[in-house]
Amino acid sequence: MRSTMLESAIGGITVPVFEKLWGYVAGQTQEARQQVEQVEQRQKALEQVKAASQEYHNKYLDRHGQVKIMPGLMKEPLPLDSIYTAVKFLDEYSLRYFATPDALEQTYREKGQRRFQADRQRHDGMSVAKDKQHLMVLGGPGIGKSTFLRKLGLEALKGQAGQLACEQIPVFIELKTFRDSDIDLNAVIAQEFAICGFPAAEAFTRKALNQGKLLILLDGLDEVPTRNLNLVIEHIEAFVTQYNRNTFVASCRTAAYQSCFKRFTDVTIADFDDEQIEQFIRRWFSSDLDQEVETASRYWKMLQKAENKATKELAQTPLLLTFLCLIYDRSQILLSNRSTLYGKALDILLNEWAADKRLERDPIYEGFHPDLEKVLLSKVAYSNFEEDRLFFSKPDITDRITHFLADTLDAPKYLDGEAVLTDIEVQQGILVERARRRRRLELSLQTDC
């Protein structure tokens, strides 16, 4: 059924391309023979395209329709559709910032949680994507940006039967692969078709782009090596302008985004709410055995307990919720030692996630490896707890970074601590900006134990 939908989507592209490539044979004198050869050649080409369509569908499922993260814990990949939990978007008015540090502290102490997002302004992600031709999906690390883009591709493959109800061919492009200055999106897209056996892939790609038949998914703008970032942005903007009949969805970490693309609507993925957390857990523990012993219900009830509040806060991030489910699947108990739990979560954000995605990161500072970064962050958190402060100002942490690097790595006293702070924000998402006027920041894995 899905391959039929894909063939339907490419049908309007294939016929014109191959009529041009396999037209009447010049110089032949027998009209009947011309017609027979034309039909035979065209039929052969269409058969090739049908076979290539099936291969493209299969390859997309293999490459982008499976989930396997944290290989040490997750032994086998899972179909993305089996655990996918619908994403919700925030608009800019739902992202809460605070004018003063006191207002920030007061809000947290009154609510007792670090979710600073207005619940009333959430929108279904798939519905927004269906309505927008140019969409930039923002969010922190592990919030589900790449997963959402992959899911869009899966829905596009279903044609009118999918949630997008479209007839466009999805092309998923990992922007981290643009490691040099030779950037050519046309060639990248054509290669996606060529490896699946599409005849005349370059001509096919040109026709598809000109007719607006592609859903182009540009994943991880923040993962582009810094030296190439401006080139990539310029190339994408020019490409979108040239082929403006197609649909484009891109993703980027919030801290790294500078409103680069003028045509795009910016949306931010919301943290998981209780409904999404429970739905994810029920999808994760859905085997016959789990349903028989009600694993999902037991786990959800445990998370609801007051003593597990900190663990439940971690579950607001899909990546960390996956980690929590993997741990519970192994032991059938909730980790009681919060420092161990938070330490592992910190390792995931600092090391494992970037390694799993094979990211080429510029070093934050020479010799400033993740273990040292953990020491720095622990010192910041400890001093805040001593002073009963939940948040800290940008000048404060910038000064701490400068002194820490000077003491541990013999860095110069005039080191640009603000640049190091920005790199930590962008690369790991451990620090989150909460107050714009006086740049108040929060250590996102800080806990009260």
Which regions of 261-390 does DSSP assign to beta strands (E)? 265-269
CA dist 181 and 238 (Å) reads 15
Compute how many other C-beta atoms are within 10 angstroms of the C-beta atom of residue 386: 8
Residues of the chain with pLDDT under 50: 2, 15, 17-30, 32-33, 95-97, 358-359, 435-441, 447-449
- Which pairing describes strands 247-253 and 431-435: parallel, antiparallel, or unpaired? unpaired
**How many degrees, rounded to 5, is the angle at CA 127 between CA 212 and CA 153?**
50
Q: Dmax of the chain from CA atoms? A: 94
pLDDT tens, residue by residue, 50-78: 888 889 999 999 999 999 877 667 788 89
Q: What is the pLDDT of residues 106-140, one digit of tens each?
A: 665 665 555 555 555 789 999 999 999 999 999 98
The pLDDT value recorded for residue 102 is: 62
d(CA 279, CA 288): 17
Q: What are the distances in angstroms from CA 222 to CA 32, 240, 303, 321?
A: 59, 19, 33, 23
Residue 276's pLDDT is: 97
**pTM recorded for the entire structure:** 0.80
Per-residue model confidence as pLDDT tens digits over 370-390: 777 778 878 877 777 777 776
Return the percent helix, strand and coil in the chain, to nearest 5. 55, 10, 30
Instruction: Please count the other Cβ atoms lying within 10 Å of the Cβ belonging to residue 395.
Output: 12
Sequence-distant (6+) residues with CB within 8 A of 137 are 89, 145, 148, 149, 249, 250, 251, 252, 267, 268, 269
